[in-house]
Structure 1
């Protein structure tokens, strides 16, 4: 039977981004039930924005735009996307609404889009955050109508007589039912139903009726003059949808090896609740099986979880926050820029020889104990104006971080640092860590964060 302290740490890592420095005081003695209550307590929603001014109304895709105008607009877009990225990260680090932000992070990988338009990105991130714990039905409709998704999956080009199947296919394969629950004919018929779905220049959803195929369609065994809404509703009638979403949530929040028996119960309840996400997450985090030994410490932190976890427990002032995106790029997870429509792969895919070294060095680099030796992945295609190693080196200024070690010292006074930093502190060889430490909290904390055990949650 795991201790309450271990259960609490496990819960804070899975339902959020680890222990915040202000939680160190009470987490050991808190009841897990009380932490759950805090996680599910509704906070006032605050949207994410950027401060950079929008460019004048000319679009860089406008055929009349000059090369200079296009460059200027691209520069502004890049700046706004970096701001959105950092503001999303900031919510993960500082928000009391940890579960909302963790769920939004999950949905960001599930409903993966990659567009350069910051307005569209902002709108989608806020849809994901606002509906993160609401109804999956509402979330699916909102995302499907978002300009980022319609743009990314070419539905703007989906017109009667020339249907584009991209969006219809991914909605079924990646966002709702998963492969094996529909046919190629279902994709073709769904694509016809989505003809005319698009957006205007401002990013408002538009049903362009003149481009919509009004003929009869047969989809998943039903026949009618269907439009996009009808298709989404029919998809939600399928129990396969509840099961697919439940399985994906289980593998992200609990264990990469799905437990069929537990998933059967969870997905049936999810379906009966009409896709109530708060209920599903509550069923997961309050299930005694969630705290089984096999589910604790079995996940490799994604780069975002790793960095946010460090920033939550080490209060830091960052002079050049835009350089955090360099670390995102080097570690392989740039927010707003998933590798493709399937989102980021998880688990062991985060670790290769170059990323493992850097992951273990981040605490030392951020504490000013060692420089960053840059070597971005060769196969990386995140543009963000940093295509080559030279471009990265040139664009990278030190983040200029000041960590409030006095506060860390105070928080960990009379406590074993490893108990708060390492999920299962029994697993780490404290003797070896201590032999590299002086007596200071700073060096001890940095050394603990540089262990392979710190990579797990």
Structure 2
């Protein structure tokens, strides 16, 4: 297999969501610098939104049934709007030309993890993350820290002088910027005082509520002064620990779970001196010869979203019931806008257990209409998510997404090619004889069977 094909395939999976059907013909001969330029290109930014109308604020509260009914109606609308945001984000990952923007947004979506019911707040945070995904980490951090979704999720609305709430200050330092071991408990307490008064109104506008702000002198990260939240964030960014923490997390996600400290030293020093230029850091990673080392290729387990988006990119499909794709996200353990906790999703082997592996291997056949979805979620699964009983949850959810795939186009594109060269990252590790034995010699079955191998789970 041509060396450039191996490299470009690796790059497309790490800097985006895999090979798109329209990229297959040109992939062998494309120079990777050109490909990086294409991936980095940012067109006019468009926000992700939902079409479901917001609830009418003037609805009748007076009738005796209003409160319970009203609540139910609210929950239904919130769920519909959040589902739309989820599916529109997945659609961007699968279909946007701006692959690196959406891949970085996906990374930040797990890094700045928040889980709130309010779809308006979710939309705001999601678009902030997408807008700054390849921009400047400082801008991203400031905007995310002032987003109602985050302030609400981390209880800063309750952070007031005389009764400081430390949750927000702690998570900002521990998970979003510096990492454990680079600040003290006193820094958490003093940082919380700096963030007192940061909140939002019900329209979703950030508000600095002066009367709740602690105006006294604070000592934070070795400096003393009458600091506010902006000051605290500036001081966090001045710390080289922040650059190192973010660079390490990016390296683990985009390159290898096993960290090379010399590379991290060099990358994080560059990231710091660039003033936290995200695109510059990503270019440096993807342009480095070590990024294409054999040890970095095909060593990552695709997350459920990467797996789904990758299949959607390669197979030209029309999805009649896209809302059922949310069922697959739930069953595979990664639902957009719904991280398990403030630390986001775990990576690597955490994605695979006996039940998720079986379903992962069957998705290509189910989506191609070759087999039904026979599956019950794990006992500890949070499948109900506001639905009444387990039984109705399952009956309600398990419809097929009703996907029509343009197999003619797939056959035409792969006619003179080895499908495995394009579908599998380490094709030499695959026993092609056993794949062929399951196949009826058609390209359609070859593609489905390749996508149903354990090797396809790796990127």
Q: With structure 1 as the length reference, what TM-score do the two structures score?
A: 0.97
Which residue matches 1:13?
A: 13
Distance in 2 of aligned mates of 1:406 and 1:295: 34
Which residue matches 1:28?
A: 28
Structure 1 residue 391: Cα displacement: 3.2
How large is the Cα RMSD of the aligned pairs?
1.5
Counterparts of residues 57-456 of structure 1 (less than 5 Å) = 57=57, 66-381=67-382, 383-386=384-387, 389-396=390-397, 397-456=399-458
**Structure 2 residue matching 1:44: 3-state secondary structure:** coil
Shift of the 384–411 alpha-carbon distance from structure 1 to 2, 3 Å rule, reads: farther
Moved more, 419-428 or 17-26: 419-428
Which residue matches 1:38?
A: 38
**Structure 2 residue matching 1:125: 3-state secondary structure:** helix
Deviations 1:54-104, CA, capped at 9 Å, x for gaps: 002279xxxx97111111011000000000000000000000000000000
Gaps of 5+ in 2: none
Distance in 2 of aligned mates of 1:214 and 1:442: 68
Structure 1 residue 375: Cα displacement: 1.4
**Structure 1 residue matching 2:117: 3-state secondary structure:** coil
Structure 1 residue 374: Cα displacement: 2.0
Structure 1 residue 254: Cα displacement: 0.1
Structure 1 residue 284: Cα displacement: 0.4
| 2:365–2:371 contact (8 Å) kept in structure 1 | yes
Gaps of 5+ in 1: none
Distance in 2 of aligned mates of 1:412 and 1:306: 21
Distance in 1 of aligned mates of 2:158 and 2:186: 20
Distance in 2 of aligned mates of 1:2 and 1:204: 53
Distance in 2 of aligned mates of 1:269 and 1:392: 50
Q: With structure 2 as the length reference, what TM-score do the two structures score?
A: 0.97
| 1:386–1:392 contact (8 Å) kept in structure 2 | yes
Moved more, 64-73 or 38-47: 64-73
Distance in 2 of aligned mates of 1:313 and 1:386: 33
Instruction: Give the total of aligned pairs.
Output: 453
**Structure 1 residue matching 2:207: 3-state secondary structure:** strand
Moved more, 224-233 or 389-398: 389-398
| 2:325–2:401 contact (8 Å) kept in structure 1 | yes
**Structure 2 residue matching 1:182: 3-state secondary structure:** coil
Structure 1 residue 110: Cα displacement: 0.2
After TM superposition, the runs of 4+ consecutive aligned structure 1 residues lying more than 3 A away are 382-389
| 1:17–1:309 contact (8 Å) kept in structure 2 | yes
